[in-house]
Structure 1
Amino acid sequence: MQSVAQILLLVLDVAWFIMIVHIIMSWLINFQVLNLYQPLVRQIWDGLNRLLEPIYGPIRRFMPNTGGLDLAPLVALIAVYAIRIVIINNLLYA
């Protein structure tokens, strides 16, 4: 059971890292440090959006409209961290 918990923690850590990269990249694009007309930047951005939209989409439908501020990544990060805490407390140290 401990091996399954460690694998789940690994998957959550990878998801956390991908979300952080997506958030930082969105800031860099909005502040025009990165340009979406560059093919590599566009491919990475599209890949991250396709990967994370199944996670962010339901959160966006649940949350109220905040205008130009997207809080779905923050909620997803908190959810991933909360799931991580539950796994650590209940499966690894049980």
Structure 2
Amino acid sequence: MFAMIQLVDSLISLYLWCLFIFVILTWLIHFGVVNTQNRLVYLVVDFLYKITDPILRPIRNILPNLGGIDISPIILVLALIFIRNLIVVDLAKLM
């Protein structure tokens, strides 16, 4: 059971890192620091988009339009941290 808790914790942590990297890369692309014409950059951004967008899209649909500001990654980070704390801390106390 403890191994399962560690696996879930590791997967959530890995997903959080992917989300942070995706957000930073989109900022760098938007400000012209990174060019998506580079094949490696395109592959990394495309991969991160494919794994983050299916979870971010429903959050974006629920949130009101704030102009050019997308706060869905912030909501997702808070939700993932809450879930991780709920699973890891509370279930670890039961053991």
TM-score range, shorter chain: over 0.9
| Aligned counterpart, 2:13 | 13
TM-score by length of 1: 0.93
Structure 1 Cα separation of the partners of residues 7 and 39 of structure 2:
34
- 1:88 to partner: Cα distance: 2.2
Structure 2 Cα separation of the partners of residues 6 and 51 of structure 1:
21
SS of equivalent residue, structure 1 residue 75: helix
| Aligned counterpart, 1:44 | 44
Q: Given the alignment of the two structures, is residue 64 of structure 1 paired with residue 74 of structure 2, yes or no?
A: no
TM-score by length of 2: 0.92
Structure 1 Cα separation of the partners of residues 6 and 70 of structure 2:
31
| Aligned counterpart, 2:33 | 33
Q: Identity over aligned residues, as a percent?
A: 31
Stretches of structure 2 lacking an aligned partner (at least 5 in a row): none
Structure 2 Cα separation of the partners of residues 27 and 93 of structure 1:
39
Structure 1 residue ranges (4+ consecutive) displaced by more than 4 angstroms after TM superposition? none
RMSD: 1.0
| Aligned counterpart, 2:73 | 73
Q: Given the alignment of the two structures, is residue 84 of structure 1 paired with residue 84 of structure 2, yes or no?
A: yes
Stretches of structure 1 lacking an aligned partner (at least 5 in a row): none
- 1:3 to partner: Cα distance: 1.6
